[in-house]
Chains A and B, each alone.
Chain A
Amino acid sequence: MFFAAAIAILVALGLALVRAVLGPTVYDRILAVNAVGTKIVLLIAVIGFLTGRPEFLDLSLVYALINFISTLAVLKFFKFGHLGHPGAENEETGK
């Protein structure tokens, strides 16, 4: 059963990769990368059950956190053209 779930997740991963390669705009690629990340979280959890090592769930949890942050960071980069802010604290301290 875990094997079937892993196969289904891998197929969905492949389809998301197809969209990441095809995607006409950069937002299609971001969407595909986000979907790949979500599916990898699932895949790590299922593989942990498949090999009888539920400790893999910790990796899965960390990956979920990183995936969310990275999606928002990439979106911010394409929205503003940079990740950093010019810096209000620089103006305040005069440095």
Chain B
Amino acid sequence: MIGAILDGLSWALILGGGFLLITAGLGLVRFPDLYSRMHAGGLVDTLALSLILVGLMLQVEPGLVTVKLAFIMIFLFFTSPTSTYALGHAALISGLRPELSAEPSEAAAPERHVAPSFAGRDALDDPATVIAPEELWAYGVDVESVDADAPQAAPDSLPEPGRDSGDDSGRKR
């Protein structure tokens, strides 16, 4: 009786995990830009993985196998969000902007000071961004080249957000 209940529960968990895995795969293929793809990949992967591993745990009697499965689950539960975070941070630093952001409406806002580690190279072209001269190194430019275009462009000549997410924008560094 108990065995049948555990078996059914294990079935449900494993099939639910498989469904979530396929959903994450579809999101990985069909979402429009890197950050939403990361959302699909990172978020659903953690849950699907936990579901399938718990489902496998219910298939065996408690012992060493259960402990090993629990180790895999705990380890991946912590490392998968960590690597997703590192990936997003690296992509943002390299200047890859989210395609789905509300950047055009932000251009009307007054000055906006951006911490160097969270602004990409696009921030240099944005007239609304104020960058302290001692922070310019974080953008990968030398100070002279920025001072040259000190009369800044009009706000309507803003670069299209996400337009530079071309093939080699990730290889800048």
**Measuring CB to CB, which residues of chain A are less than 8 angstroms from any residue of chain B?**
1-2, 4-5, 7-9, 11-16, 18-19, 22, 24-28, 30-32, 34-35, 38-39, 41-42, 45-46, 49, 54, 57-58, 60-61, 64-65, 68, 71-72, 75, 78-81
Pairwise interchain contact B79-A81, C-beta atoms closer than 8 A: no
Our count of residue pairs bridging A and B at CB distance below 8 angstroms stands at 148
Report B-chain residues with C-beta under 8 Å of the C-beta of A32. 28, 41
A60 to B72, CA, bound (A): 8
Report A-chain residues with C-beta under 8 Å of the C-beta of B38. 31
Given A27-B87, A45-B53, A46-B56, answer yes or no on A4-B96 (Cβ-Cβ < 8 Å).
no
A8 to B69, CA, bound (A): 19
A82 to B22, CA, bound (A): 35
A49 to B14, CA, bound (A): 12
Range class of the B interface residue count: 35 or more
Pairwise interchain contact A78-B83, C-beta atoms closer than 8 A: no
Pairwise interchain contact A12-B169, C-beta atoms closer than 8 A: no
Pairwise interchain contact A26-B22, C-beta atoms closer than 8 A: no
Given A5-B18, A25-B167, A27-B34, answer yes or no on A61-B68 (Cβ-Cβ < 8 Å).
yes
Pairwise interchain contact B170-A35, C-beta atoms closer than 8 A: no
Task: Identify which of B10, B24, B65 contacts A35 (C-beta below 8 A).
Answer: B24
B119 at the interface (CB under 8 A from A): no
Report A-chain residues with C-beta under 8 Å of the C-beta of B94. 27, 78-79
Instruction: Supply 14 A–B pairs (Cβ within 8 Å), ascending by A.
Output: A5-B17, A18-B29, A24-B167, A31-B84, A35-B45, A38-B45, A41-B76, A45-B72, A54-B60, A68-B83, A71-B83, A78-B90, A78-B94, A79-B90
Report A-chain residues with C-beta under 8 Å of the C-beta of B91. 25, 27
Report A-chain residues with C-beta under 8 Å of the C-beta of B163. none
Pairwise interchain contact B75-A9, C-beta atoms closer than 8 A: no
Please, which residue of chain A has its CB at the minimum distance from the CB of B86? Answer: A75
A78 to B173, CA, bound (A): 7
Report A-chain residues with C-beta under 8 Å of the C-beta of B34. 25, 27-28, 31
A81 to B171, CA, bound (A): 9
Pairwise interchain contact A57-B90, C-beta atoms closer than 8 A: no
Pairwise interchain contact B79-A46, C-beta atoms closer than 8 A: no
